[in-house]
Structure 1
Amino acid sequence: MDEFARVQAKYNEEAQKRLRPEGAAQFQTLEQSDSDQLRHLADDFWADHAALDALPSPLKPGDRVKFLIAGAGIGGIGAAVRLIEAGFSADQIRIIETAGGVGGTWYWNRYPGLHCDVESYVYLPLLEETGFVPTQKYSSGLEIRKYLEDIVKKWDLEDKILFRSKLDKIEWDEAARLWNCDITAGRGPRGDEKTTFKVQAEFVWGTAGLLSKPQVPKLSGVGIEGFKGDVFHTARWNYDVTGGTQEEVFPELSKLKGKRVGIIGTGATAIQVVPCLADYAKELYVFQRTPAAVYGRGQKPTDPEEWKKIAGEPGWHEARRQNLALHISNCAPPGVPDLVDDEWSRQVAYASLVGDPEFAFVAPEKIPEVIGQFLARDAPNQARLRARIAEIVQDKETAEKLTPWYPVWCKRPTFSDTYLQTFNKPHVHLIDTDGKGVDSVTPDGLIANGQEVPLDVIVFSTGYRGPSTDGADPSKRSGIEVHGRDGKTIEESWADKGASSLHGYAIHGFPNLFWHSPLQAGVGANHAHVLDTQCKAISYILATAHQRVGGPKKSGITVEVEEAAQEAWSTKIMQGAGRFSTVAVCTPSYINNEGKAVDLTASPEQQMKQARASPYSGGLNAYIKELQDWRDEGSMKGIQVAAS
Structure 2
Amino acid sequence: MNVAQQGSKTSLVNDFDAVIIGAGFAGMYMLHSLREAGFSTKAFEAAEDVGGVWYFNRYPGARCDIESIVYTYLFSEKLYQDWTWTSRYPDQPEILSYLNYVADKLNLRKDIQFKTRIHAAHYDEANENWRIYLNDGTSVTAKYFIPAVGGLSATNVPNFKGLNHFKGEWYHTGNWPKDEVDFNGKRVGVIGTGSSGVQVIPIVAKEAEHLTVFQRTPQYMLPARNHQLDPEFIRQTKADYKEIKQQVRNSATGDLRKSMNCSVFDVTKEERLQALEEAWEKGGFIPGFTDVFTDEKANETVAEFLRSKISDIVHDPETAEKLMPTYYYGTKRQVLNTDYLETFNRDNVTLIDVKKAPIEEITTTGVRTTQKEYELDILVFATGFDAITGPLFKMDIRGRNGISLKEKWKNGGQISTYLGLATSNFPNLFLITGPESPAGFTNNVAVIESNVEWIIECVKYLREHDLNTIEAEKEAEAGWSKSVADLANKTLFVKTESWWTGANIPGKPRGLPLYLGGFKKYLEICKEVEDKEYEGFSLFANKREKVHPSK
TM-score, scaled to structure 2:
0.83
Match of 2:527 in 1: 628
Match of 2:405 among 478, 485, 490: 490
Alignment CA distance shift 1:177-1:152 (3 Å): same
How far has the Cα of 1:240 moved from its partner?
5.5
Between the aligned residues of both structures, percent identity stands at 29
In structure 1, give the amino acid aligned to 2:329: V
Question: Is the deviation greater in 301-310 or in 290-299?
Answer: 301-310
How far has the Cα of 1:324 moved from its partner?
6.1
Match of 1:105 in 2: 53
Match of 1:425 in 2: 346
Matched, 1:225 2:123: no
CA deviation profile, 1:266-291 (whole Å, cap 9, x unmatched):
11112111111111111111111111
Matched, 1:323 2:251: yes
* Distance in 1 separating the partners of 2:460 and 2:359: 52
How far has the Cα of 1:136 moved from its partner?
0.8
How far has the Cα of 1:513 moved from its partner?
1.1
Matched, 1:207 2:148: yes
In structure 2, give the amino acid aligned to 1:621: K
* Distance in 2 separating the partners of 1:434 and 1:307: 46
Match of 2:273 in 1: none
* Distance in 2 separating the partners of 1:307 and 1:480: 42
How far has the Cα of 1:344 moved from its partner?
2.1
How far has the Cα of 1:102 moved from its partner?
1.3
Alignment CA distance shift 1:257-1:488 (3 Å): closer
Match of 1:299 among 209, 226, 233: 226
Gap runs ≥5 in structure 1: 1-58, 185-194, 244-255, 353-369, 550-555, 600-608
Match of 1:152 among 87, 100, 103: 103
CA deviation profile, 1:376-420 (whole Å, cap 9, x unmatched):
232232122112111111222211211222222332121223111
More helix by share: 1
In structure 1, give the amino acid aligned to 2:150: G
Alignment CA distance shift 1:430-1:178 (3 Å): same
Alignment CA distance shift 1:436-1:123 (3 Å): farther
Match of 1:183 among 134, 143, 146: 134
Alignment CA distance shift 1:382-1:307 (3 Å): same
Matched, 1:94 2:42: yes
Match of 1:236 in 2: 175
Match of 2:501 in 1: 592
Match of 1:480 among 395, 404, 407: 395
* Distance in 2 separating the partners of 1:107 and 1:239: 9
In structure 1, give the amino acid aligned to 2:435: L
* Distance in 2 separating the partners of 1:217 and 1:566: 34
SS in 2 for 1:232: strand
Match of 1:536 in 2: 453
* Distance in 1 separating the partners of 2:33 and 2:461: 13
How far has the Cα of 1:643 moved from its partner?
4.0
**Does the Cα contact within 8 Å between 2:529 and 2:535 map onto a contact in 1?**
yes
Alignment CA distance shift 1:408-1:440 (3 Å): same
* Distance in 2 separating the partners of 1:597 and 1:440: 17
SS in 2 for 1:616: coil
CA RMSD of aligned residues (A): 3.3
Alignment of 1:601-616 (within 5 A): 614-616=513-515
Match of 1:515 among 418, 421, 431: 431
SS in 1 for 2:436: coil
Match of 2:157 in 1: 216
Match of 1:457 in 2: 378
**Does the Cα contact within 8 Å between 2:122 and 2:398 map onto a contact in 1?**
yes
Gap runs ≥5 in structure 2: 1-9, 264-277, 543-551
Match of 2:274 in 1: none
**Does the Cα contact within 8 Å between 2:209 and 2:348 map onto a contact in 1?**
yes
* Distance in 1 separating the partners of 2:531 and 2:283: 34
SS in 1 for 2:380: strand
SS in 1 for 2:514: coil
CA deviation profile, 1:353-373 (whole Å, cap 9, x unmatched):
xxxxxxxxxxxxxxxxx5xx1
Match of 1:66 among 17, 22, 41: 17
How far has the Cα of 1:467 moved from its partner?
2.5
Match of 1:253 in 2: none
* Distance in 2 separating the partners of 1:224 and 1:507: 38
How far has the Cα of 1:333 moved from its partner?
9.0
Alignment CA distance shift 1:595-1:157 (3 Å): closer
**Does the Cα contact within 8 Å between 1:349 and 1:409 map onto a contact in 2?**
no
Match of 2:336 among 415, 429, 441: 415
Alignment CA distance shift 1:597-1:333 (3 Å): farther
Count of residue correspondences: 510
Alignment CA distance shift 1:101-1:598 (3 Å): closer
* Distance in 2 separating the partners of 1:610 and 1:274: 29
Alignment CA distance shift 1:178-1:569 (3 Å): same
* Distance in 1 separating the partners of 2:168 and 2:327: 35
Alignment CA distance shift 1:499-1:400 (3 Å): closer
* Distance in 2 separating the partners of 1:461 and 1:350: 32
* Distance in 1 separating the partners of 2:177 and 2:124: 44
